[in-house]
Amino acid sequence: MQMSEKDVAALVKEISGSDVKKCMKCGKCSATCPAYGEMRFHPHQFVAMVARGRVEELLKDPTVTRCLSCFACVERCPRGVEPANVVAAIRVLAEREQEGNNFSPADVPKLLSQDPEIPQQALVSAFRKYRK
Ligand code: SF4
Ligand code: SF4
């Protein structure tokens, strides 16, 4: 069953753990973002759009991958909104939509035999991105 845009926005809130309603629209997160010029939407816009339940445009935006995950926006936010986690949640959902379920625990032994040095973080990250 297709999820409504509002349901997807609720999922973004759940994945990010962010209370977007606490945002007071000061813009400090975007003012400090080093990827500001690279991203179509800026941290304060991610927060505002998710709060309004408008996530479709965010999910279609390829420049979401330009976020550096530097957490400068998290440091700067006076309300503890954590915009970087909202951006990351959108990216995870967009990647899931594109790739579907294509990574299973059964794949891990083969990957490790190909590269025993593969970092555990890479496997955990792949699970987050490619499993629903
Ligand atoms: S985590 Fe991403 S959105 Fe936040 S300041 Fe860094 S680059 Fe910008
Ligand atoms: S810094 Fe925090 S309160 Fe200010 S606009 Fe960004 S998310 Fe909202």
pLDDT tens column, 60-75: 998 998 999 999 999 9
pTM tops 0.75, yes or no: yes
What atom of ligand 1 comes closest to residue 72's alpha carbon? 5
* Domains in the chain, CATH or no CATH each: 5-99 (1.10.1060.10), 102-132 (no CATH)
93 lines ligand 1 (CB under 6 A): no
pLDDT tens column, 93-131: 988 777 655 667 777 788 788 888 877 777 777 776 666
What are the pocket residues of ligand 2 if the criterion is a CB atom closer than 6 Å to any ligand atom?
23-29, 43-44, 47, 76-79, 81, 83
Report H helices in 17-119.
Answer: 28-32, 43-51, 56-60, 72-76, 83-99, 108-114
73 lines ligand 1 (CB under 6 A): yes
Q: Which residue's alpha carbon is at the smallest distance from atom 2 of ligand 1?
A: 67
Record the tokens describing residue 55, joined without a space: 């996530």
